[in-house]
Structure 1
Amino acid sequence: MTAIRQMTYQPVGRGAAAVETMTFGRLRELNDGGTQRADFHVLAIVDAGHGAVTVDFSLHPLRERSAVWVAPGAVHRWDDIAGVAGHVVLFVSTAPVTHTTRELVASPDVMAQWNIPEVDWPLVDAARNHLLLEACAPPADTATELPEILLSALIARLQPPHGEASSMNPTFRLFRSSVEAHFREHHDAGHYARALGYAPRTLSRAVQQATGRTAKAYIVDRIVLEAKRLLAHERLTAAGCASALGFPDASNFSVFFRRVTGMRPGTWQTTVAGE
């Protein structure tokens, strides 16, 4: 994680550092204005200034006492952060030590940006500063979980909001996890119903209650999101996306993408590149 442009996790000291921190000043030095796609979590806390961050093609404002959470795999770009002050915490999914914070980190629907309530700010600030202090301490002779413990405290204090209001529905949570693991190979809702041991109608009802969408629509949305990530960041062609996402050929993928988005893959790719 020493080079944010490359988004490559680098071992630090003995073993791999599960938690690292940097200032927005350091982020500006490393940021080339292009898109990033990390295999770890990026959590930012803004103390002052204004700017913006684009996460999975949605623009979010940065302002005093705002927080940003970029999950692994999300395509993001820091915009206009010249006057932003604060800190960025980089951590792997296994870093939090409590059951609650690990479950929260494992959820794919944490909101990308939110404002920290003024009443909560002193506790968030104290948790963040304690983590920063420990992260800057000299390496210990023996392994310590202090950074991970303090990261868990910070996450608990931040209370990141979720996008899916009913995400605690156990049937939906199983479905969501299964889709995340297998959407590249399986595009039909029936596969997930069979794999999870539910009747198709039961599964569809659970997904509808949690998201307002059918199970099929949820799967389609996940495939389209990944396609957009591949087109925007990896700059794949329609043929490359078809191969990566389990479509028979480029034509089949292009028809699917255009039907859902209203644009051909190449046109969408050019449009995003010009933004």
Structure 2
Amino acid sequence: MTVIRQMSYQPVGRRAAAVETMSFDRLRELNDGGTQRADFHVLAVIDAGQGSVTLDFLQHPLRERSAVWVAPGAVHRWDDIADVSGHVVLFVPTAPVTHATRRLVASPDLVAHWSVPDADWPFVDAARDHLLLEAAAPPGDIAAELPEILLSALIARLRPPHTEARSMNPLFHLFKASVEAHFREHHDAGYYARALGYAPRTLSRAVQQATGRTAKAYIVERTVLEAKRLLAHDGLTATRCASALGFPDASNFSVFFRKATGMRPGAWQTSAAVPSERQSELS
């Protein structure tokens, strides 16, 4: 089984910096081909070349004038970056300074990979170059907030595809945060409705509006994702997964997993270890 390397944000040189940058040349030096999970955002802007990155069991292409966004907690692996040129921006969730970009960064519906329209590229390129210039300056030469301001400009220019109107729903944000905190213990939508003080129907409408899925389906999807991470990367058995995710026993967990994925946990674990059987979005 692949072991996940847990990465925490530790900026080099400037301990208080909320934004760091590196080229793909530097990323190649640091990358060992392993699977990793970070507690910070990773935003890659591709200038040229072709490659791929795998995020939570989905493989995404790296192409000229495209971008990749790896949110905190996502399990990812740089599969093929030998011919890729561009830059990677690392930042903590609170780094963006504008209300719009902070809301965008917190959106649950950000797309992991997208192509930058030709008309937008000159602005993206300029915003990126300005951020790189300021991020490379000696700490005493710039105001601490300048890289954060320029990060916000870059994000705004990149315009990551997401369901902006949906993500503004405050009840869904409360629900999402509650699910993240408690999905290992509570799998029923009724618990979250009671905990948030809303009627089940009100919560259901909010989640449907925000995601196009029911509250129950959202909880199942989040639980299944964590189960896949535990099975594929931590190598846990169905019994240990059941314990980690709040199921009474392995049998109950197996029924849940098979209903959600169409496969038994053990069979899925075996298939996930075979590169040719990974799901792919390459097209």
TM-score > 0.5, shorter chain as reference: yes
Which residue in the other structure is 1:238 paired with?
Answer: 238
Q: How far apart, in 2, do the equivalents of 1:162 and 1:211 lie?
A: 11
Which residue in the other structure is 2:25 paired with?
Answer: 25
1:221 CA drift (Å): 0.6
Indicate conservation of the 8 Å contact 1:207/1:213, yes or no.
yes
Which residue in the other structure is 1:185 paired with?
Answer: 185
Q: How far apart, in 2, do the equivalents of 1:187 and 1:18 lie?
A: 35
* CA spacing shift, 1:172–1:10, aligned 2, 3 Å: closer
Which 10-residue stretch deviates more, 244-253 or 126-135?
244-253
Q: How far apart, in 2, do the equivalents of 1:35 and 1:11 lie?
A: 20
Which residue in the other structure is 1:86 paired with?
Answer: 86
Which residue in the other structure is 2:208 paired with?
Answer: 208
* CA spacing shift, 1:267–1:88, aligned 2, 3 Å: same
Indicate conservation of the 8 Å contact 1:21/1:132, yes or no.
yes
Which 10-residue stretch deviates more, 6-15 or 83-92?
6-15
Q: How far apart, in 1, do the equivalents of 2:46 and 2:160 lie?
A: 15
Q: How many residues are paired up?
A: 272
Which residue in the other structure is 1:221 paired with?
Answer: 221
Deviations 1:206-253 (A, max 9, x none): 222333322111110111011112222333332332232222233322
1:22 CA drift (Å): 1.1
Counterpart secondary structure, 2:223: helix
Q: How far apart, in 2, do the equivalents of 1:196 and 1:120 lie?
A: 41
| 1:145 and 2:157 matched | no
Q: How far apart, in 1, do the equivalents of 2:12 and 2:83 lie?
A: 30
Counterpart secondary structure, 2:166: coil
Which residue in the other structure is 1:9 paired with?
Answer: 9
1:141 CA drift (Å): 7.4
Which residue in the other structure is 1:61 paired with?
Answer: 61
* CA spacing shift, 1:112–1:14, aligned 2, 3 Å: closer
Structure 1 unaligned blocks of 5 or more: none
Q: How far apart, in 2, do the equivalents of 1:211 and 1:274 lie?
A: 31
Which residue in the other structure is 2:103 paired with?
Answer: 103
Which amino acid is the alignment partner of residue 41 of structure 1? H
Which amino acid is the alignment partner of residue 260 of structure 2? V
1:198 CA drift (Å): 1.6
Which amino acid is the alignment partner of residue 222 of structure 2? R
Deviations 1:111-146 (A, max 9, x none): 000111111111111111111111111121786111
| 1:268 and 2:268 matched | yes
Which residue in the other structure is 2:280 paired with?
Answer: none
Q: How far apart, in 1, do the equivalents of 2:132 and 2:209 lie?
A: 41
Counterpart secondary structure, 2:90: strand
Which residue in the other structure is 1:48 paired with?
Answer: 48
Structure 2 unaligned blocks of 5 or more: 276-283
Indicate conservation of the 8 Å contact 2:17/2:144, yes or no.
no
Which 10-residue stretch deviates more, 66-75 or 107-116?
107-116
Which 10-residue stretch deviates more, 254-263 or 41-50?
254-263
Which amino acid is the alignment partner of residue 32 of structure 2? D
Higher relative contact order (CA 8 A, sep 6+): 2
Which amino acid is the alignment partner of residue 29 of structure 2? E
Q: How far apart, in 2, do the equivalents of 1:66 and 1:254 lie?
A: 39
Which 10-residue stretch deviates more, 123-132 or 206-215?
206-215
CA RMSD of aligned residues (A): 2.1
Indicate conservation of the 8 Å contact 1:188/1:216, yes or no.
yes
1:170 CA drift (Å): 3.0
Indicate conservation of the 8 Å contact 1:42/1:88, yes or no.
yes
